[in-house]
Amino acid sequence: MEFSETLRMSLRAIRSHRVRSSLSTVGVVIGVAAVITLVTLGTSLRVDILREFTGGHAPNMYVWAGPPGGQPGFGAQPVFTAHDIARLRGIDGVATVVPRGVLPVIALTHGGQTVSQNGIVATTPDQFRTRTFARGESFEQGKREVVLNPAAARLFDDRLSVGDRIGIRTADGGTETARVAGVLKRSSGNGQFESGGSLPQVYVPTDPFYGSTVESPTQGTTQRVYPLVTVVAENHGTIPESKRAVKAYLRSNSDAARLTPDEYAIRVRTDRDLVNRVKDVLTTLTTFITSIAVISLVVAAIGIANIMLVSVTERTREIGIMKAVGAQNRDVLQVFLMQAVLLGVIGSVFGVVLGALGGYAATQYVGLPLVFAYEVVPVAIGVGLLVGVVTGLYPAWNAARVDPIDALRYE
């Protein structure tokens, strides 16, 4: 029997029982749609993270000494001395090193108004190398200047601007006065240490504001010491080699190695490490959902097999007529196997469409750019085809073995 004739007879059988055929494909639709939705969501999230951390960002490495687990900077101890900072800057492939400390304060004052603030960031001008300023520019080392994010500029009734002066009441009871040198365009930061999101953030230069010091174990002199360090590589391609060199230095001949408590460890993490961790989480979640989808597909396969067995029984007389006019066993087998395959493929096609709509809705809900994983479409269609073959083989084989005389007598 020609392929076109087999296809025509199978489609006619499906159309004659539309409701029953539709219900038999529901499991395939749900299983495929669930996988497509999750894969689309995962792909969109991964691309968004990659754009966030490798698009406009410098090739950063975030360094701190802390306990196991937690986010970057969790439990960070002040162990990185000025000597360590200078040595890190000398490593091949390192463009710059940005130390970061926290200056404990009580409040900020301006124009007779006082607002509570428990800490401000002491760092260097390189902190703002990839940030955009709405007004002004970075502070200069050695000057009493501050940089504000927009949330900090809005702390006071008369919004702070470049040139204004604010008072900084420190935890030791003193008051420092500083000039606003610049206001950033966005409150949210662009690094793993900038976890404050849209919270008010005030930045001051380490000189003259930051006073945390320690005696350098390797130099024997009193030096500034920082809990957080951002090492910036020359480009993204040099990160792996630079990371190895940074870790080798910090864990051997550095002041940090001697100052780090025994139960703590020096940690070096890149933006790519964070992306890989997110990918691991997504992979685990995808595996879990795929397992559920497989159960749905098994249920769908049982449903299709049941429908095909019923179809063979209902069409017994038709099978007898086909064989009476010359149809061979393989012709009968082809007709019923084709019907099962069509049910599986049709279910997977509708599953892809439903999954694409689900992926679009999910990404819009969480605010991600839609990135559809086209490569999973042929896989989904292939799964539907496989389900059809597996579930239709036995009913088709049963139909092919029907005796034509018994079939013609069947009522």
Query: What's the domain count of the chain?
Result: 2
pLDDT at 393: 84
Find the range with the poorest average confidence among 13-27, 189-203, 243-257, 321-335: 189-203
Per-residue model confidence as pLDDT tens digits over 293-304: 777 777 777 877
Identify whether the C-beta of residue 84 lies closer than 8 Å to the C-beta of residue 70. no
DSSP-derived 3-state class of residue 241: helix
pLDDT at 36: 85
pLDDT at 190: 60
Report d(CA 183, CA 155) in Å as an integer: 13
pLDDT at 213: 93
pLDDT at 79: 94
Which one has a higher pLDDT value, 271 or 168?
A: 168
Count the neighbouring beta carbons within 10 Å of the beta carbon of residue 55: 8
Give 114's DSSP letter: E
Mean pLDDT, residues 223-249 taken together: 90
Cis peptide before 395 (omega within 30 of 0): no
Residues 91 and 191 in one domain: yes
Residues 123 and 226 in one domain: yes
Mean pLDDT, residues 28-52 taken together: 79
pLDDT at 259: 93
Residues 152 and 285 in one domain: no
Residues 251 and 343 in one domain: no
pTM metric for this prediction: 0.63
Structure tokens at 384: 């539907």
Per-residue model confidence as pLDDT tens digits over 84-133: 999 999 999 899 999 999 999 999 999 889 999 888 999 999 988 888 89
CA angle 253, 255, 256 (to 5 degrees): 100
Residues 113 and 218 in one domain: yes
Sheet of 222-226, strand order: 80-81, 222-226, 213-215
Long-range contacts of 279-284, Cβ-Cβ distance < 8 Å, separation of 24 or more:
279/46, 282/42, 282/45, 282/46
pLDDT at 56: 53
Identify whether the C-beta of residue 304 lies closer than 8 Å to the C-beta of residue 75. no
Query: Residue 80: is its pLDDT beyond 90?
Result: yes
Q: Which domain holds residue 342?
A: 3-52+276-409
Residues 155 and 38 in one domain: no
Residues 241 and 163 in one domain: yes
